């Protein structure tokens, strides 16, 4: 086992190790050796256990922006971005656990991949190409590739349209260079105190497109809806596992008496919910996204307004010709393309029986849309 080095040397070597080995995450916890995540799996680094919180604090202290150090001490946690000399960026979260500092560092490659590079279905490109106003939500759990997808969307717009794009992020992850568009990236904690303050005045800054790094409360959600309804294209991420849970998550922000108003706003402004989760691929260290796509057509709007969210999964199954897709359909597609293992598909399947049927070529019967409308 390798011996520990001075803290500043140890963290530099670990970050370089992450970059060189195409790992996605680095975890530092007292009493354990460092761990990295490669191909979706945690792996122990061949190193001595980190002895105490003072050692981890020594590793991380100089990396924390000076204006954020007080935040960690007072709140027990802080998020910030870190850039290496090789231009790789890390999204860093420091947090206290049992009074000790723990750290989670996620690698964000400086290169912005396009939709093909991210292995996303063609509907993603078609959607962003044809949508000029309204709300597009990218949902998923932590580590599902939401930030990379949003970056691909912004970069596509940047290359194809002359817009003013404003992003509000915590922290800024991908750095965009103006092409056909001009881009203003605002980082919470540096350029603006919080999301609410940034979004309160964003429409006065003459944006055509607004990217919100995360919808995390009712104020940011309401600001996104209002901006979308007043003629802006709004792209945002939200932490939820699938389309139906995304609706539940949004409504949880508000008291029950506000739900009719929020549903009406969603029906007017929502263009799509794109849910995704990353699965290990058959090739070593590869990962592929399973995707669920709901498009805001007239039937979906009707279901939203009339509180018939339970019908949305059936709509996903029945409207593939429009570009919609369910997780089951996506998993079946990934298996048939020999990109993921069959057993992994079943492990992630929301309904194993439905996936089994689809892999056997059994599809939903005709007339489902008519019954849903009825």
pLDDT in tens, 182-217: 999 998 878 888 898 999 889 999 999 999 999 999
Query: Which fold would CATH assign to domain 7-108?
Result: Beta-Lactamase (3.30.450)
Asked if 7-108 and 122-373 have one fold, the answer is: no
Q: Is 362 or 148 the better-scoring residue by pLDDT?
A: 148
Task: Look at residue 175 in the predicted model and tell me its pLDDT.
Answer: 87
Looking up tokens 């790992």, which residue turns up?
23
CATH 3.40.50.300 fits 122-373, yes or no: yes
Closest CA to 157 of 122, 181, 138, 133: 181
CA distance from start to end of the chain = 67
**The Cα angle at residue 354 between residues 350 and 355, in degrees rounded to 5:** 75
Ramachandran bin of 361, using left for φ above 0, alpha for ψ from -120 to 50, beta for the remaining angles: left
CA distance 50 to 55: 7
pLDDT in tens, 77-106: 998 888 777 667 888 999 999 899 999 999
Environment class of residue 86 by beta-carbon count within 10 Å: exposed (0-12), middle (13-18) or buried (19+)?
exposed
- Judged by DSSP in three states, 103 sits in strand
pLDDT, the chain, mean: 90
Q: Supply the pTM of this predicted model.
A: 0.82
At 366, the pLDDT band (50, 70, 90 cuts) reads very low
Environment class of residue 203 by beta-carbon count within 10 Å: exposed (0-12), middle (13-18) or buried (19+)?
middle
pLDDT at 365 over 50: no
Closest CA to 242 of 269, 276, 214: 276
Domain boundaries along the sequence of the chain? 7-108, 122-373
CA distance to 34, 51, 178, 182, 253, per residue, from 63 (Å): 17, 20, 28, 30, 34
Which residues in the chain belong to E strands, given as ranges?
A: 25-28, 35-38, 41-44, 77-83, 89-97, 100-108, 134-140, 164-169, 182-187, 209-212, 233-239, 270-280, 287-295
pLDDT at 225 over 90: yes
pLDDT in tens, 227-243: 999 999 999 999 999 99
Closest CA to 157 of 213, 118, 231, 208: 208
Across 129-153, average pLDDT? 96
Which alpha helices (H) appear in 253-326, and where do they start and end? 259-269, 298-305, 312-318
pLDDT in tens, 120-135: 999 999 999 999 999 9
Closest CA to 278 of 330, 235, 236: 330
């Amino acid at each position: 086992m390798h011996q520990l080095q001075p803290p500043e040397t140890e963290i530099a070597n670990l970050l370089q190790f992450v970059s060189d080995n195409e790992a996605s995450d680095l975890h530092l916890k007292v009493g354990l050796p460092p761990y990295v995540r490669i191909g979706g799996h945690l792996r122990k680094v061949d190193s001595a256990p980190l002895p105490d919180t003072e050692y981890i604090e020594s590793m991380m202290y100089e990396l924390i922006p000076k204006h954020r150090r007080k935040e960690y001490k007072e709140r027990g946690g802080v998020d910030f971005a870190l850039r290496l000399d090789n231009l790789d960026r890390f999204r860093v979260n420091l947090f206290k656990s049992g009074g000790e500092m723990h750290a989670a560092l996620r690698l964000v490659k400086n290169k912005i991949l396009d939709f093909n590079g991210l292995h996303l279905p063609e509907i993603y490109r078609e959607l962003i190409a044809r949508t000029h106003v309204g709300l597009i939500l990218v949902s998923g759990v932590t580590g599902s590739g939401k930030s990379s997808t949003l970056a691909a969307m912004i970069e596509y717009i940047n290359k194809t349209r002359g817009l003013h794009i404003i992003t509000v992020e915590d922290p800024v992850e991908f750095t965009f260079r103006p092409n056909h568009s001009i881009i203003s990236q605002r980082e919470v904690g540096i350029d603006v105190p919080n999301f609410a303050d940034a979004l309160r005045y964003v429409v006065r800054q003459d944006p055509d497109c607004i990217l919100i790094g995360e919808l995390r409360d009712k104020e940011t959600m309401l600001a996104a809806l209002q901006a979308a309804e007043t003629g802006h294209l709004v792209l945002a991420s939200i932490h939820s596992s699938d389309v139906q849970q995304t609706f539940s998550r949004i409504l949880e922000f508000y008291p029950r008496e506000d739900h009719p108003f929020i549903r009406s706003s969603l029906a007017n402004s929502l263009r799509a919910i794109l849910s995704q989760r990353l699965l290990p691929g058959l090739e070593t260290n590869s990962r592929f996204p399973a995707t669920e796509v709901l498009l805001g057509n007239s039937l979906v709007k009707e279901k939203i307004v009339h509180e018939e969210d339970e019908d949305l999964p059936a709509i996903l199954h029945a409207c593939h010709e429009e570009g919609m897709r369910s997780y089951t359909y996506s998993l079946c597609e990934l298996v048939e393309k020999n990109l993921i293992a069959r057993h992994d598909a079943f492990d992630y399947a929301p309904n194993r029986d439905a996936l089994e049927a689809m892999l056997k070529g059994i599809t939903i019967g005709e007339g489902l849309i008519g019954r849903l409308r009825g």
